[in-house]
Structure 1
Amino acid sequence: MAISGVMRLGEVALRVLDMDAALHHYIDIVGLQKVTGDTGHVYLKCWDEHDHHSVILRSADSAGMDYCAFKCRADADLDRFAEGAKAFGLEVSELAAEERLASGRRIRFQVPTGHWVELYAHKEQNGNGLPLRNPDPFPDGLKGIAPGRLEHCFVYGPDSAAAARFFTDVLDFSVSERLELPDGSTKACFLACNTAMHDIGIVEHNEPGKFHHMSFWLDSPEEIYRAALLLGKNDVPIDEGPTQHGIGRAKTIYFWDPSGNRNEVFSGSYLSYPDRPALTWDAAQIGKAISYPQRRMAETFMTVLT
């Protein structure tokens, strides 16, 4: 297996205002599976994930993201990345095994945009409801949109160039695409740690620690349009789509959870190997970049954050 270091986005921890409403949204409509939890914290996963959980909901007075966490290939990677983060100028703390539910030890740091990021290498596995020998293509009992896995997250904050440099220089991510302003600076950067088009996106913004969306993977464009019908059937407000991005070429829908956190379902993007040249979009073409057929985007898309 050639993938080493950071393998993928493994966990997003979200703040929600009304846990009952959030659970109805994420379980009954989005189709995530509840693993465990109480009134304060609930742990969810997508159906085709083997790890214990990938989404954490926490009751809070404000919406947004508490942290995102990436899974590494080996425990030794944590020590290597901790040293690199310190050399970059970040303060690094360590969380002991089981300090996060079902997880091995972690390192934790705040990147220049103000977001908290954690790295871990071990998490308990509870399977995907299918046997490891001669499995069916999907288990019984799926509900709602039923995405197979957590795909990426997208954040806003100041000093995004330094944050992107940290991900590339320290964590070995590669830049797949960027949105460039007329002065040559980067407004948005799309970063990948594996062959995905991106595992995290970072946008320059004056407020630190802001959250734009978390995204879930669907296997086909047909599933995207089915998701649109399910969202309409359940009166879920849609921010953008269904459409196709120019950036990344993915078919997509963006919609809101009851707390105002933006979700995305995403399908059909290209594979981004580390030697693939990075693509650049001019800011004047942002309409096509976000919604290629319509060549425009919703007014809320770049401005409403949690």
Structure 2
Amino acid sequence: MPTPAVPPPPPVPAVRPGTPAPAPRPGAIPPPDIVRAAYAELVVTDPAASREFYVDLLGLVVTHEDEDAVYLRAFEEYLHHSLVLRRGESPALAALAYRVRSPGEVDAAERYYRALGVPVERRAAGATRGIGPAVRVVDPLGFPLEFFYAAEHVPRLHQSYDLHGAGAIARLDHFNIVVPDVARAERYYRDLGFRVTEDIRGADDTLYASWLHRKDTVHDIALTGGDGPRLHHIAFSTHERGQVLHVCDLLGARRRSAHIERGPGRHGVSNAFYVYVRDPDLHRVEIYTTDYYTGDPDHPVLSWDVRDNQRRDWWGNPVVPSWYAEASTVLDLAGKPQPVFAREENSEAEVTVGADGFSFARDASPQVGPST
């Protein structure tokens, strides 16, 4: 009996030299020195229902609440909040906030964005509860960003184990946004001082997605190609895979498994163990763990082939269509929805998702054992 042909193993991500942030051009106004992703402000239609989801199911801690908003944080966090749920008529993103390295960097943010000619709003201390003087802008990609340094400190609960549930969330990790032109968005974030860790490219070098960081993890911001500007998700980190699984078990036990959109699984990109859930307003939240250290100055960039289905799920599971198609509206500084522009290049879903949801990497996997 002839020995069956064994297909070649699937390709591995290409490793390229690291991409340090470009040095400011002579005479250019330098960008603010950003430390990390710090908090998100979401507009929700029913704060009580959202509170129940984020506190009773996901386990976040309430720092403050009133008739119009709930301020939440995770167990490691000592700033006033990492998530604001604000009452409104329609679900939307009101702001993504970055903490900067010093009070003077707030002024630097104002100078930088005024030079770019985009809308800029100076905010007094307390305009957002618990946050000091800040600058809010609509950035060149159409997203409402806030830059702040000063913030109210609250008790860090990382050793209050009597308060931790089995799925205890440690901290806010990153934002993921949907943009029509990923290459343009990557250049903008690199100009802000972010560094690329991983990306997804096609054979023609089309850039489909990019992950960039300021803190020493895989990312503070991810860029997903699609119609935008829209918010794809915010992500919170846990310390262990079991905590991610416990979130799934809890949702099942409460008969709330419809909140689970995708996973649990492991990403190829970032190596993270994850589950994606949708809140009562369909804002997407990722619970995430086990990515890796990126702080060395020569950290290489991993480039994934867009046709390799292990990029999005290391186990080769297909991505549900809603994960590619659906995302949250974003607002301008006046609270009005931003117009959404279509992506002109193909999306990942158009390139990779066939009738069965799979691409070549699964078909190219070696056979296990003899064929019959």
- Give the TM-score normalised by the residue count of structure 2: 0.74
User: What is aligned with 1:178?
Assistant: 199
How do 1:1-306 and structure 2 match up within 5 A? 5-129=33-157, 137-143=159-165, 145-169=167-191, 171-208=192-229, 210-234=230-254, 235-236=256-257, 237-273=259-295, 274-285=297-308, 287-306=309-328
- Which amino acid counterpart does residue 195 of structure 1 have in structure 2? D
SS of equivalent to 1:232: helix
Residues of 2 paired with 1:74 and 1:226: CA distance?
38
SS of equivalent to 1:290: coil
Deviations 1:113-136 (A, max 9, x none): 321011101100012146xxxxxx
SS of equivalent to 1:302: helix
Measure how far apart 1:89 and its partner are: 4.2
Measure how far apart 1:60 and its partner are: 2.0
Of the two structures, which has the highest relative contact order with CA contacts closer than 8 Å and spacing of 6 or more?
Answer: 2
Residues of 1 paired with 2:299 and 2:111: CA distance?
28
Kindly report the root-mean-square deviation, in angstroms, between the aligned alpha carbons of the 2 structures: 1.9
CA contact (8 A) 1:104 1:123 kept: yes
CA contact (8 A) 1:112 1:162 kept: no
Residues of 2 paired with 1:280 and 1:266: CA distance?
21
CA contact (8 A) 2:113 2:139 kept: no
Count of residues paired in the alignment: 294
- Which amino acid counterpart does residue 305 of structure 2 have in structure 1? D
Deviations 1:136-189 (A, max 9, x none): x444223473201111111113344333222211x2111111122343222211
Structure 2: runs of 5 or more not aligned:
1-31, 329-372
Residues of 2 paired with 1:284 and 1:14: CA distance?
33
CA contact (8 A) 1:112 1:159 kept: no
CA contact (8 A) 2:57 2:247 kept: no
Residues of 1 paired with 2:203 and 2:117: CA distance?
30
Residues of 2 paired with 1:48 and 1:303: CA distance?
33
More strand by share: 1
- Which amino acid counterpart does residue 281 of structure 1 have in structure 2? W
Residues of 2 paired with 1:79 and 1:181: CA distance?
40
SS of equivalent to 1:101: coil
Residues of 1 paired with 2:205 and 2:317: CA distance?
22
Residues of 2 paired with 1:6 and 1:214: CA distance?
18
Residues of 2 paired with 1:162 and 1:77: CA distance?
24
- Which amino acid counterpart does residue 188 of structure 2 have in structure 1? F
Which stretch shifts more, 48-57 or 73-82? 73-82
Measure how far apart 1:299 and its partner are: 1.7
Residues of 1 paired with 2:275 and 2:81: CA distance?
23
Residues of 2 paired with 1:160 and 1:112: CA distance?
13
Measure how far apart 1:64 and its partner are: 2.8
SS of equivalent to 2:136: strand
Identity of aligned residues (%): 27
Greater radius of gyration (CA): 2
SS of equivalent to 2:326: coil
Measure how far apart 1:35 and its partner are: 1.3
Which stretch shifts more, 191-200 or 13-22? 13-22
Residues of 2 paired with 1:85 and 1:191: CA distance?
20
Structure 1: runs of 5 or more not aligned:
131-136
- Measured at CA, do residues 119 and 146 of structure 1 come closer, stay the same or move farther in structure 2, by a change above 3 Å? same
Residues of 1 paired with 2:112 and 2:203: CA distance?
33
